[in-house]
Structure formats: C-alpha cells, structure tokens
Chains A and B, each alone.
Chain A
Amino acid sequence: EPEVTQTPSHQVTQMGQEVILRCVPISNHLYFYWYRQILGQKVEFLVSFYNNEISEKSEIFDDQFSVERPDGSNFTLKIRSTKLEDSAMYFCASMGQMNTEAFFGQGTRLTVV
C-alpha cells in the first residue's frame, strides 16, 4: 500500500539552528501539506503546495518557514531559526485529487532545546 514517508522520525536541535524536515508523498499525488501538532493540542495547518508553488498558508507559516519540492519525489519544510515554541510533531500529507482524503506520514518529532 502506498504511503507517505517522513524523515527523520525525531530531531533535536538547538534554538536558532536551521532544520529541514523531509517528506516523500505518495507518488501520483498532486497536493501536499504540512501540519504541526504541539503536544496535547490540535493538528494545525501550516501550508499547502500544488503545481510547484504554495497555494495557501496559515498565520503560523511566517518568514521563518519555507517549503520546497526540489525534485519529483521529495517535499521539504525548512525552519530557518528554530524557537523553543517550534517544538512539535510535524506531519506531511498528500492528496491525490482536490477535495478528497489526505494521507499522512508518520511525523517528525522536533524538539528545540
């Protein structure tokens, strides 16, 4: 069964450092998303990506964040200068057709110290 894969599963970084979270969406999917979930809180939308550009982003997705699809398979989220409050689970998701179900990767747990 096709699945979304994310690496690493857990990353610890020092405050102020840059991190790159990686995702390989399901191969024939067209719509890609990043979400975060702070421990004990709801899953929050960060950004959506379609046709090699950002289609929508939330107020959380400020200038510290960027996304890229550098090749045909990877989809990355970069946080330029991490803050303590960036500590969370980050989920990547992909969707085959617009307005259908999204499939989620297993997540990257980011811990900023």
Chain B
Amino acid sequence: RKEVEQDPGPFNVPEGATVAFNCTYSNSASQSFFWYRQDCRKEPKLLMSVYSSGNEDGRFTAQLNRASQYISLLIRDSKLSDSATYLCVVNSGGSYIPTFGRGTSLIVHP
C-alpha cells in the first residue's frame, strides 16, 4: 500500500497561536481524504473530511491540493484542548482502504 506521510512533530505552540499541518500521499488515484484526531491511548475520531474546494469548521480549515498530492489542516486560535495527535487518512487502493499517516503531535501550552 502506498504511503501517507506526515511530519511527526511535536508542534509546541502557545494558546491562541495558529498552526498548520501538512500531509502528502503517493497514490494519485486516492479520492477521499480526512483528518482524524487521536488522544493518548484512545481511538481515532473524525475531525473533518477534506474536499477539493477546501472546507472550514469553526477554527479548523482543511485543504486539498490534488496536483501536488498534499492536504493541510490549519488550526486557528489554538486551545489547550487541541493538544492531541492529528492523523491524516487517505482512502487508498482498489478497495479504498483508510490508510493512516503516522500522525502529527500538537502540544498547546498556556
């Protein structure tokens, strides 16, 4: 299975900061893209889907660049509760299997 790559971080930012994560994928036939959030020793939880036109959900903005095969997640006005690992997930292969990046760790400090 082709890889999904992310910078593992950690990104260590103060409250209120804006932080951006990128993810690249190698299978150009991939069609569905997601950001999940994972807290320590918990299950991945869907944060948002990523659409070609870009989409926003409150303080979170996700974008997809198909030509360069990367997706991004922007978090504005970071909160302490945003501290988690952010997982890039791409549905890949003939059966569109959700394939995970290794995750980017975010630590928001006071």
Q: Is the A/B pair a real complex?
A: yes
A67 to B34, CA, bound (A): 26
* Cβ distance A65 to chain B, nearest Cβ, rounded Å: 16
A19 to B46, CA, bound (A): 29
Nearest first, the 6 closest Cβ-Cβ pairs linking A and B are: A42-B102, A99-B96, A104-B43, A43-B100, A56-B95, A102-B98
Q: A58-B1, A104-B45, A106-B42 are in contact. Are A93 and B98 (CB under 8 A)?
A: yes
Residues 41-82 (chain A) with a chain B CB within 8 angstroms: 41-45, 48, 50, 55-56, 58
User: Contact flags (1/0) for B24-49 with A, using CB distance below 8 Å?
Assistant: 00000001101000100111111001
Q: Is A101 an interface residue (CB 8 A)?
A: yes
Residues of B near A58 (CB, < 8 A) are 1
Number of interface residues of A (CB under 8 A): 27
Residues of A near B72 (CB, < 8 A) are none
The contact of B95 among A55, A93, A100, by CB within 8 Å, is: A55
Residues of A near B93 (CB, < 8 A) are 56
Residues of B near A107 (CB, < 8 A) are 42-43
- What residue in chain B is nearest A89 (Cβ atoms)? B41
Residues 77-91 (chain A) with a chain B CB within 8 angstroms: 89, 91
User: Contact flags (1/0) for A6-48 with B, using CB distance below 8 Å?
Assistant: 0000000000000000000000000001010000011111001
A102 to B43, CA, bound (A): 12
User: Contact flags (1/0) for B97-110 with A, using CB distance below 8 Å?
Assistant: 11111110000000
